[in-house]
Amino acid sequence: MTLSPTPTSIEALPQPTTSSVKARPRGRNILSDNAWGYLFLAPWIIGMVFFMAGPTLVSFYLSFTSFNLLEPPEWIAAKNYVRLFTQDGRYLNALRVTFTYVALAVPLNLAFALALAMVLNAKIKGLGIYRATYYIPSLLGGSVAIAILWRQVFGFDGIVSQALAVFGIEGSSWVSSPSQALWTLIILHVWQFGSPMIIFLAGLKQIPVELYEAASVDGAGPWRKFWMITVPMLTPVIFFNLILQIINSFQAFTPAFIVSGGSGGPLDSTLFYTLYLYLQGFANFRMGYASAMAWVLLVIIGVLTALAFLSSRYWVHYDDSAK
Amino acid sequence: MVTAARPRTKKPNYRWMLHAGLIAGAVLMLYPLLWMIGSSFKPEGQIFSDLNPIPTSLDFSNYIKGWTLGTGVSFTTFYLNSFMICAGAIVGNLFSCSLAAYAFARINFKFKPVLFALMLGTLMLPFHVIVVPQYIIFNTLGWTNSFLPLIVPKFFAVDAFFIFLMVQFIRGIPVELEQAAMVDGCNRGQTFLLIILPLLTPALVTTTIFTFIWTYNDFFGQLLYLNNERKYTVALGLRQFLDASGQSSWGAMFAMTTLSLLPVFVIFLFFQKRLVDGIATTGLKG
């Protein structure tokens, strides 16, 4: 994927092979391409200034202030940041909880997604039905309704504790246990492996069958084919899914809010980063502090994405010969 | 794999096992949903004592009770509010993203590469970074407790995903069509309206579907801006079941959560292929 727009051209025709149609001055074209471009882009530019770039800069400024929405912001330099990392135990805990969540939920989710995609890719009958069924949790999973359901499923009398009781394991409420509550959220995320599975399926279809045939001729078994052909050929898709998942799961909010009843409990064990940010910014109205948290989040996501990109040259295999 | 030794003769057996495994997995995955749907038809006392999701009788009293639960405002209001916000967001996204996408895909203007990179950059910008200043803006305008903060930004193409989706789509449309229109005297605006927009329909449908699902499922924005019960959406209405910790409302709660999943599920049934394609090609989160 290139960042700059590449012109799509039809080589067969003798016309100039640029993507843009040269506006021919035939009376009705009063505006230049420049003017048309900015006219079409006007809503986006306004949105960019007032809802995206502007707020991003304002947020950066506010992160150096103490601000409660009622009185004007008061400049306190880097005190918010210092406080975050040296005096705020709840914040450090939120960081730990979120990193644990991402580190467990994302790989597990992708592993399930890849495994199921492999199975479904084996020219199986009823592929459409299976794919649709496994996709349903992904479609509904982000909603408040599912989070409420999860709270009951893993709750005191929930079906999980009852099902475990059948096997003689003493039932208990997962959502009110500090050591287990985070697991309910991890399971909720892993449960939604349907959409990465669909992306993997699309990727698997791109792998040339000849590679497998050649490997079979050479006597390679299924396990060897998986590691020597499927995984290398699929690394761009794995990479894409990984980036997408990291960005999304760091910002998870709804499940933690609903399952913990808005508190991040028990004992802050499900206090997600964004939940703590919400509580500080919009329950305590410490908006400068919340802005500082938001910027640290931006840096964390940025660094992780950059690391993924930098490391990608060592493990992501792009098939250049095909082009 | 038991079949490794004699793959030829054992193959049908292996297939059968695969299907059995896949069906078992699917049932396990969907079991919580089935349990919820079943519970919504069960009498209160039976819900937690019964692991069997199939209710003994079809009793709609939970639905009637749940619909009006709360303090006077019923789910009629919540659904109307949710659908209004969704409609506004959809119109906004279709309008603003298609305009921006056409400019990026087809017109050469100054600083285009820079602006395009900026647009892609906003794809990765966490919402939480901009939420505080946005809140200040909307609070100053007196827009809190209205739908405006949830709709108006969509008219200014803040969902870069859809711009990207449409740019990719427009690049696949042959340029010759526009060239012919321009030779015939169409200007950019007419070309966009008469040539591009009709051909863009598939991308517009995808945008509509995903905007609906995202807006309908959104919770953070609605939680932030809507605090009067009359403005509550379905998501906020459901949350009230958690606040009112009355022991006797489980059935009603499950009835309303089941019902709330229905709109997205119906869309899934009708547009399954488009949803799958949208995810497979752009990684849109479903």
Whether A10 and B174 lie within 8 Å, measured CB to CB: yes
Determine the pLDDT at residue B93: 97
**Cβ-based neighbours of A184, under 8 Å, separated by 6 or more:** A150, A154, A174, A175, A259
Position A177, amino acid: S
List pLDDT tens digits, range B135-169.
999 999 999 999 999 999 999 999 999 999 999 99
Question: Can you spell out the DSSP letters for chain B?
Answer: -GGGS-HHHHHHHHHHHHHHHHHHHHHHHHHHHHHHHHHTTS-GGGTTT----S-SS--THHHHHHHH-SSS--HHHHHHHHHHHHHHHHHHHHHHHHHHHHHHHH---TTHHHHHHHHHHHTT--HHHHHHHHHHHHHHTT-TTSSHHHHGGGGGT--HHHHHHHHHHHHTS-HHHHHHHHHTT--HHHHIIIIIHHHTHHHHHHHHHHHHHHHHH--HHHHHH--SGGG--HHHHHHHHHHS--GGGHHHHHHHHHHHHHHHHHHHHHHHHHHHHHHHHH----
Would you say residue B244 has pLDDT above 80? no
The CATH classification of domain B71-244, taken from the options 1.10.1050.10, 2.160.20.10, 1.10.3720.10, 2.60.200.20: 1.10.3720.10
Determine the pLDDT at residue A61: 96
In this prediction, residues A142-157 reach a mean pLDDT of 88
Whether B99 and A41 lie within 8 Å, measured CB to CB: yes
Would you say residue A175 has pLDDT above 90? no
Express as a percent the part of chain A with pLDDT over 70. 89
Determine the pLDDT at residue B260: 95
Whether A58 and B136 lie within 8 Å, measured CB to CB: yes
Determine the pLDDT at residue B58: 81
Please tell me the least confidently modeled range out of A23-37, B173-187, B242-256.
A23-37
Determine the pLDDT at residue B277: 80
Would you say residue B220 has pLDDT above 60? yes
- For A75, the 3-state DSSP assignment is strand
Determine the pLDDT at residue A265: 78
CA angle A121, A123, A128 (to 5 degrees): 75
CA angle A89, A94, A96 (to 5 degrees): 95
Would you say residue A202 has pLDDT above 80? yes
Would you say residue B87 has pLDDT above 60? yes
Residue of B213, B219, B210 whose CA lies nearest to B238: B219
Determine the pLDDT at residue B86: 97
In this prediction, residues A310-317 reach a mean pLDDT of 86
Determine the pLDDT at residue A103: 96
Express as a percent the part of chain B with pLDDT over 70. 91
Whether A23 and B132 lie within 8 Å, measured CB to CB: no
Neighbouring CB atoms inside 10 A of B33's CB total 20
Would you say residue A48 has pLDDT above 90? yes
Tallying the residues shown for chain A, one arrives at: 323
CA distance to partner chain B, nearest, from residue A124 (Å): 8
Determine the pLDDT at residue B70: 58
Would you say residue A171 has pLDDT above 70? no
Banded pLDDT at A320 (limits 50, 70, 90): low
Determine the pLDDT at residue A10: 36
CA distance to partner chain A, nearest, from residue B29 (Å): 7
CA distance to partner chain A, nearest, from residue B233 (Å): 11
d(CA A194, CA A70): 45
Would you say residue B178 has pLDDT above 80? yes
Chosen from A38, A62, A118, A144 to mutate, greatest number of chain B CBs within 10 A:
A144
Classify domain A90-315 at the CATH superfamily level.
MetI-like (1.10.3720.10)
- Using an 8 Å CB-CB cutoff, list chain A residues near B191: 21
CB pairs A-B closer than 8 Å: 312
Whether B103 and A134 lie within 8 Å, measured CB to CB: no
Would you say residue B71 has pLDDT above 90? no
In this prediction, residues A2-8 reach a mean pLDDT of 37
Closest chain B residue to A255 measured between Cα atoms? B219
In this prediction, residues B13-23 reach a mean pLDDT of 85
List pLDDT tens digits, range A209-247.
899 999 999 888 888 999 999 999 999 899 989 988 998
Distances from the Cα of A241 to the Cαs of A141, A188, A200, B102, B152, in angstroms? 18, 18, 8, 28, 31
Instruction: For residue B235, give the nearest of A140, A144, A163 by CB distance.
Output: A144
Please tell me the least confidently modeled range out of A108-117, A207-216, A312-321.
A312-321
Mean pLDDT score of chain A, rounded to an integer? 85
Question: Is the reported ipTM for this assembly greater than 0.95?
Answer: no
Where along chain B do its domains lie?
2-66, 71-244
Closest chain B residue to A133 measured between Cα atoms? B26
Would you say residue A290 has pLDDT above 60? yes
Determine the pLDDT at residue A322: 45
In this prediction, residues B17-31 reach a mean pLDDT of 91
Would you say residue A58 has pLDDT above 70? yes
The token pair that represents A13 in the structure block:
């025709």
Determine the pLDDT at residue B267: 92
Banded pLDDT at B249 (limits 50, 70, 90): confident
In this prediction, residues B45-54 reach a mean pLDDT of 77
Whether A29 and B139 lie within 8 Å, measured CB to CB: no
CA distance to partner chain A, nearest, from residue B142 (Å): 13
Whose tokens are 């809010």? That residue is: A257
> How many Å separate Cα A76 from the centre of its chain?
33
DSSP class of residue A229 equals I
CA distance to partner chain B, nearest, from residue A9 (Å): 8
d(CA A84, CA A80): 6
Residues paired with A66 in a beta bridge:
A74
Whether B107 and A40 lie within 8 Å, measured CB to CB: yes
Chosen from B23, B44, B115, B130 to mutate, greatest number of chain A CBs within 10 A:
B130
- Using an 8 Å CB-CB cutoff, list chain A residues near B219: 143-144, 253-254, 257-258
